[in-house]
Amino acid sequence: MKKIVVIPGDGIGKEVIPATLHILQGLDLPFEYVYAEAGDECFEKYGTPLPEETLELCKESDAILFGAVGETAADVIVKLRQELDLFANVRPAKSMRGVKCLYDNVDLVVVRENTECLYKGYEFDVGDSAVAMRVITRKGCERIVKFAFEFAKREGRKKVTALHKANVLKKTCGLFKRTFYEIARNYDIEANDYYIDAGCLYLVTKPWIFDVIVTTNLFGDIVSDLTAGLVGGLGLAPSANIGERYALFEPVHGSAPDIAGKGIANPTATILSACMMLRHLGFSEVAEKIEKALKKVIAEGKTTPDLGGNLKTMEFAEEVLKACREV
C-alpha cells in the first residue's frame, strides 16, 4: 500500500484534486490517501501556511499530490522543495489533438533545478536599494544535469539543451555551463546550449529543435510557463518535483481565484501530474491508460470551458474515467 499525501491547497486546487482522485480511486489502486493542509486558507486558520504536521506527513509519504496555492506560494511550495530537497522540477510540454495551440508537433521536457538560484530568497535592503544573492553550486549543477541526461536516456530522448546566460553571468551561469559539458561527455546523447534569451526566441519560432531542456531555477520557472503556452496553456501543464527520497506532483497553474468555486476548472494538468506520480511509483501501465483516455476525451471535444467545451470539472473527470474503462 502506497501512502499518498494529498494537499488540495487553495482556489481551484479544491476542485481539480477531487476530480483527479475520482479517476485514481475509480481504478482501484493500492493507495492510501492522507489529506493535509497548506496555503492561504491554512494561514488564516492557523497562522502558518505550512504547518509542521503537514511537513511531517510529507516526510512519511511515498508521494505527494498537490493542488494549488495562492499568495503564500513562496512559503509553501518553494519551502517544500527546499525542505524535502526536491532538486529536480520536471515539466513536459506536448501538443494534444483537439487543443488549439501554436504548434501541433511540440514534444519537449523542461528539467529545472529546483532548490538554488535566486529562489534561495537571500534578499537585502542596502540603503535605498535592494540586493538579491544568486546561489549556484557545483553540487546543484552536477545533480540536475545528471538527472536531465539520465531522464533523456531512460525516456529514449536524443538531445539535452542547456539554457544559461554565461556571457553576462560569468561566475554563476559559467559554472552551470562548464558543469553541463563535463557531465555530457559521459553520455551518448547530443548536447548543446543557448543563451536564455536566444533559447526563448527559438522556443517560440521553432520549438521542434528542443527535446530535453535543462536550466537553473529562475530561468526554468519562466521557460516552463512559455512552453506551456506553446501547447495550450497552464491548464494543460503538469509537473513533478523529484528528490533522492521524496517526490511531489503538482499542476503548474496557480489557484485561479477568478474561477474558483464555479466548478469549471480544467483538471487536465492535475490528472497528467498524477500520471507522472503513477510512473514514479511503478504504475506505468495505469498512467498510460489514463493518458490515452484523457487524450481521447479531449480529441472528441468533451472539454471544460477553457478549451471550448461545456463540461464541469467533475463531469470531465467522469468522462476520462469512463474512457479509461474502455481503453
Q: Which residues are catalytic?
A: 119, 165, 197, 221, 225
The residue among 111, 173, 171 whose CA lies nearest residue 143 is 111
- 81: which 3 cell numbers? 522543495
d(CA 304, CA 267) in angstroms, rounded, equals 9
Please write down the HEC assignment for all residues of 219-233: HHHHHHHHHHHHCCC
All residues at 6 or more sequence positions from 122 whose CB lies less than 8 Å from its CB, including other chains: 132, 133, 135
Q: Which residues of 49-65 are buried (b: 16+ CB within 10 A; e: fewer)?
A: bbbeebeebbeebbbbb
Q: Which residues of 224-253 are buried (b: 16+ CB within 10 A; e: fewer)?
A: bbebbbbbbbbbbbbbbbbbeebbbbbbbb
The H or E element containing residue 277 is: helix 268-280
CA distances from 248 to 81, 88, 118, 294 (A): 8, 10, 21, 22
- 301 near 4, Cβ under 8 Å? no
